Structure 1
Amino acid sequence: MTGTPATSPAPAEVLKIVLETLEDNKAEEIQTIDLKGKTSIADAMVVSSGRSHRHVGALADYLVQALKDAGVVQVRVEGVPACDWVLVDAGDVIIHVFRPEVRSFYNLEKMWSAARPAERLAG
């Protein structure tokens, strides 16, 4: 079969899918961090928590399936065996799913939400 290769959805659509999937599957404390202008690795980061190892693993599975169903190509996942902290890389959107204790230890929100250097000078 020939044709044009499938293209991934736009970053805003990927973010919408991620947030809906996390909400539908009872992720806790979902936070979106805008990365534009802070790094070139992605446009957005989503940080959320699961209640247990099993919940963290299930959330990651639901995310991967939803992203693949939406046509996101090359979704990568790290951390599934332990399920303390699972990273789902969907290209322009990076998703972290933590157990609450691990999330508070690493505190990614504080690190990535810090003002950009130009914003600190202007503020």
Structure 2
Amino acid sequence: MRAVAQACLEDMKAEDTVEIDLAGKTSIADTMFVTSGRSHRHVGAIADRVIKELKDRGFGNARVEGMPACDWVLIDAGDVLVHIFRPEVRGFYNLEKMWGADRPHDTAS
């Protein structure tokens, strides 16, 4: 599931993608991706792609929040959380700082 989400983010040209390992920090998920889209439309397109690929690959229906506005979309696929932000919204919430005490590694190498 993690690899599917990561591949979607790369294919859709998501920007500044950070993967945060949550194992041992919380029981809500094992992995969290935080990424950005350039516009409302880009955020929505990235989210649509991740949701469709997870469903098509047999991971069930993910819970999704934020699709109408597309400022910040959260995809909760169980073991994997994907946060897709517009850059200004991402800077405001700064999830990487909150969850990444161990310094998350950048997956967009």
**1:45-91, Cα deviation, whole Å (9 max, x unpaired):** 00000000000001000000000011012311100011000000110
Match in the other structure for 2:5: 18
Structure 1 stretches of 4+ moved >4 Å: none
Q: Structure 1, unaligned stretches of length 5 or more?
A: 1-13, 116-123
How far, CA to CA, are the matches of 1:76 and 1:40 in structure 2?
17
* 1:114 lines up with 2:101 in the alignment: yes
How far, CA to CA, are the matches of 1:112 and 1:76 in structure 2?
21
Which is helix-richer, 1 or 2?
A: 1
Query: How far apart are 1:103 and its partner, in Å?
Result: 0.3
Match in the other structure for 1:61: 48
RMSD: 0.7
Matches within 5 A, 1:92-111: 92-111=79-98
Contact 2:8 2:49 in 1 (8 A): yes
How far, CA to CA, are the matches of 2:41 and 2:71 in structure 1?
9
How far, CA to CA, are the matches of 1:25 and 1:59 in structure 2?
6
Q: Which residue identity lines up with residue 99 of structure 1 in the other structure?
A: R
Q: Which has the larger radius of gyration?
A: 1
SS where residue 74 of structure 2 aligns? Answer: strand
How far, CA to CA, are the matches of 2:86 and 2:46 in structure 1?
11
Picking from 41, 44, 65, the partner of 2:31 is 44
How far, CA to CA, are the matches of 1:46 and 1:104 in structure 2?
15
Bigger relative contact order, structure 1 or 2 (CA pairs below 8 A, ≥6 apart) = 2
Q: Which residue identity lines up with residue 12 of structure 2 in the other structure?
A: N
Aligned length: 102
Match in the other structure for 1:119: none
Identity of aligned residues (%): 65
Q: What TM-score does the superposition give when structure 2 sets the normalisation length?
A: 0.91
Which is strand-richer, 1 or 2?
A: 2
Q: Which residue identity lines up with residue 103 of structure 1 in the other structure?
A: R
Q: What TM-score does the superposition give when structure 1 sets the normalisation length?
A: 0.81
